Chains A and B, each alone.
Chain A
Amino acid sequence: MNATIAWITARGLFGRSRFLLLFPLPLILIGMAWLGSSLGHPEEFAFPVLGGIGIATLLPVTALIVGTAVLGSEIDDGTVVHILTKPIPRWKIVLSKLVVAFGVTTITVAVPMLIAGIVTDGWRLGLGLAAASAVGALAYSALFIALSVLTRRPVLVGLLYVMIWEGLLSNAVSGTRVLSIQQYVISLAHKWADTSLINGTVSITVAFIMSAVFTALGFCFATDRLRSFSVAGETS
């Protein structure tokens, strides 16, 4: 962890207009949760709102915007060279980026999840959702940071993972759920909130171990690729 890198990363993140995209979704989530509970059918609204909007949309979209911005946009505009021309172990650079991405994503997602949970069914659900979102934020951030170094189009590849793999395949083919961060978050929320409003499909052990695996692999891949970071000559 390097405070200077984290500071520059955070400044870069909040300085970009892309960051403003983060604000409408939490408001929609809280608004829908409030609407659902005021209509008086929490069991009908809980899963589509908290699961569909909160876990399946707000969390991955926020993590994608933030996760690809912390490193991907620096690679895009070439400013990453300023950080790479320093005698800093590459894992520290990745760790600093991960901490910022995880922190910003967690705050942007966990707080509205907490409120939406409280509005729907009380504190227990709110805290469970917030904690599960934090775990998901870490795994997603590591994944999207790794994608930023592995591919030139991290946003596209990230979107494909979230939309196609998690969104479509995981609902149709049960086997793919083992590799779906969304499913881990649902299972963890189900367990921690101790509620029947949200039902997980993977076991809590799988959810925990796989979240750790995603985080560790993403971190290691990103570090290794950053070590071999090449700048292509513009004239060659």
Chain B
Amino acid sequence: MTTLDLTGVSRWYGNVVAINDITMSLGPGVTGLLGPNGAGKTTLLHMMAGFLAPSRGEVTLDKEPTWRHPEIYRHLGLVSEREAAHGFLTGWEFVYASAKLHGLADPKGAAKRALELVEMTESQNRRLSTYSKGMRQRTRVAAALVHDPGVLLLDEPFNGMDPRQRLHMMELLHDLGDEGRTVLFSSHILEEVEQVSGTVQVIVAGRLAASGDFRTIRRLMTHRPHVFAIVSSDDRRLAVALMASDSVAGVSLGGEGLVVHAGDYGTFTRELPRIALAQGIRVRRLTPSDESLESVFSYLVAA
């Protein structure tokens, strides 16, 4: 069993704090590292992978610090976001070279297994430069997995993949987690994280904003004010009626119907049909308008 521990980790560049006092422990299974662009996900991943020194705190892999310690790579695989690969090598050469660099006893067998795992055996004799982005990404995953590491770190692995490749990668990560590996992947897209893993670490502006089971965090978020856009047959009269309800904190009339700030999600959605029916108003459209990740994050930061 391999665990990656971060203890009071901070990283700053001059006056800019990129990572602010993060403590977390990653164990077997798939964990999603979620955060808006620029939150510090990549910085954190680089520190985990030993490619950046923490300004304060410590990152350890099974008690060994990752910084200036190449031996950790026996147990760690990294798929960086930067789509860098030696384009002049074929897929096979690339993965086989990785196996040899790891000094594996059977580099050929290991490379073969890794390529089969990501289903890249068919085009393994083509050069990397001729691959699509998704194919290259899968080959890079194969190279990172060739030595059967306990920990696999992936920075934005779904970037630039088509839906089918995305699905395949998600299944692959799932399987790797089920095998007992510690898999951490970063993403700024909520849905991706939701589909792959139950456990998330949410980073906002360099801080750990939330941590744990995704569904639990979601449920906790229902206390924030909800914003709905409504289009009805008589917006003004509906606005007056809604203001009378306890569940509504504010209503504004715009060109495109109503914008309602509701205190509680459940109460409001139950009351709206009742009010509309009583007033004889037809509600044509009801859309929650703050379901974007940004608003979820801003709520997390404010909390």
Given the complex, which residues of B lie within 8 Å of A231, measured CB to CB?
Answer: 46, 51-52, 80
Judge whether A88 is part of the interface by a CB distance below 8 angstroms: yes
Q: Contact at A82–B73, with CB atoms within 8 Å? A: no
- From the candidates A87, A90, A232, name the one contacting B102 in the complex (CB within 8 A): A87
User: Is the CB–CB distance between A236 and B78 below 8 Å?
Assistant: no
Contact present for B78 and A81 (CB under 8 Å): yes
Is A236's CB under 8 angstroms from B38's CB?
yes
Interface size class of chain A, counting residues whose CB lies under 8 Å from the partner chain = 20 to 34
**A5 close to B88 (CB less than 8 A):** no
Which residues of A from 1 to 53 have beta carbons under 8 Å from B?
2, 4-5, 7-8, 11-12, 15
Q: Mark A70-82, 1 if CB is under 8 A from B, else 0.
A: 0000000111011
Q: Is the CB of B42 within 8 A of A15?
A: no
Residue of A nearest to B78 (CB): A85
A83–B98 alpha-carbon span in the complex (Å): 8
* Contact A5 to B101, CB < 8 A, known contacts A77-B84, A82-B143, A233-B40: yes
- Choice from B18, B37, B101 contacting A86 with Cβ under 8 Å: B101
Give Cα distance in the complex from A9 to B243, angstroms. 71
A8 to B80, CA, bound (A): 20
CB distance from A20 to the nearest CB of B (A): 15
Residues on A with beta carbons closer than 8 Å to the beta carbon of B78: 81, 85
Chain B window 74-95, contacts with chain A (Cβ cutoff 8 Å), 1 for yes, 0 for no: 1011101110111011000000
Q: Please give, as numbers and ranges, the residues of chain B lying within 8 Å of A11 by CB-CB distance.
A: 86, 88-89
State the interface size on chain B (CB cutoff 8 A). Answer: 41
Residue pair A235, B37 in contact (C-beta under 8 Å): yes
- In Å, the complex CA distance between A4 and B78 comes to 19
- Assembled-state Cα–Cα distance A234/B98 (Å): 25
Q: Is B89's CB under 8 angstroms from A81's CB?
A: no
Q: B140 → chain A, closest Cβ, in Å? A: 8
A79 cross-chain contacts in B, Cβ below 8 A: 84-86
Are B100's CB and A235's CB within 8 A? no
Whether B42 lies near A235 (C-beta < 8 A) is yes
Complex: how many Å from CA A7 to CA B94? 12
- What chain B residues lie within 8 Å of A83 (beta carbons)? 101
Q: How far is the CA of A82 from the CA of B86 in the complex (A)?
A: 9
Contacts A228-B53, A236-B18; A87 near B74 (Cβ below 8 A): yes
A206 in contact (CB, < 8 A): no
Q: Are B84 and A12 in contact (CB under 8 A)?
A: no
Most B-side CB within 10 Å, residue of A79, A81, A82, A88: A82
Contact B86 A8 (CB under 8 A): yes
Contact in complex: B73, A85 (CB < 8 Å): yes
Q: Which of B60-84 contact A (CB under 8 A)?
A: 67-68, 70-74, 76-78, 80-82, 84
Question: A87 to B43, Cβ gap below 8 A?
Answer: no
Contact with B along A195-236 (1 / 0, CB 8 A): 000000000000000000000000000000001111111111
C-alpha gap A78/B82 in the complex (Å): 7
Q: Does A84 contact B (CB under 8 A)?
A: yes
Q: Are B80 and A229 in contact (CB under 8 A)?
A: no
Q: 20 pairs across A/B with beta carbons < 8 Å? A: A4-B97, A4-B100, A7-B97, A15-B88, A78-B80, A79-B84, A82-B84, A82-B98, A85-B144, A86-B70, A86-B101, A87-B70, A87-B73, A87-B103, A231-B46, A231-B52, A233-B18, A233-B43, A233-B52, A235-B37
Q: Which positions in A face B, CB cutoff 8 Å?
A: 2, 4-5, 7-8, 11-12, 15, 77-79, 81-90, 227-236
| 7 new A-B contacts at CB < 8 Å, known A87-B70, A231-B46 | A77-B84, A81-B51, A81-B78, A81-B80, A82-B143, A229-B51, A235-B38
4 tightest Cβ-Cβ pairs between the two chains A and B? A78-B84, A233-B42, A233-B43, A86-B101
